[in-house]
Amino acid sequence: MDTQERQTGMRAGYIYSAVRLWFIETVRNKMVLLLLFILPALFYSIAWITLSSERIIFILGSVKGKPVVPVVQEQLGLIFIGLAATGLIASFLALTMMQRNTLAKKRLVLCGYRPVELSAAIIIVVLITTLIVSAYIALMATLFMHPAHIMGIIWGYILCGYVYGSYGLLIGAILKGELEGILFIVLLANLDVGWLQNPIYYSGAQTKAVIEWLPAFFPSQTTMIAAFTDLPAAGPGLAGFFYGTVLLMIAFAIFWYRIKITR
- Answering whether pTM is above 0.85, one says yes
The predicted pLDDT at position 50 comes to: 85
Crossing angle for the helix pair 73-99 and 3-28, to the nearest 10 degrees: 120
Total domains, the chain: 1
Return phi, psi of residue 245, to 5°: -65, -40
Within-domain flag for 89: yes
| pLDDT of amino acid 171 | 94
- pLDDT means per 10 residues, the chain with 263 residues, are 45 80 74 75 84 88 89 91 91 86 70 78 87 90 87 94 94 88 91 90 88 95 94 93 95 82 47
Of 189, 160, 161, 202, nearest to 60 by C-alpha is 202
Whether 67 is covered by a domain: the verdict is yes
pLDDT in tens, 53-70: 889 999 998 888 889 999
Whether 263 maps to a domain, the answer reads no
On whether residue 194 sits in a domain, the answer given is: yes
Q: What is the per-residue pLDDT for 12?
A: 78
Can you give the residue range of the structural domain that contains 174? 3-258
> For residue 72, is it within any domain?
yes
User: Is 135 a domain residue?
Assistant: yes
pLDDT (0 to 100) of residue 99: 80
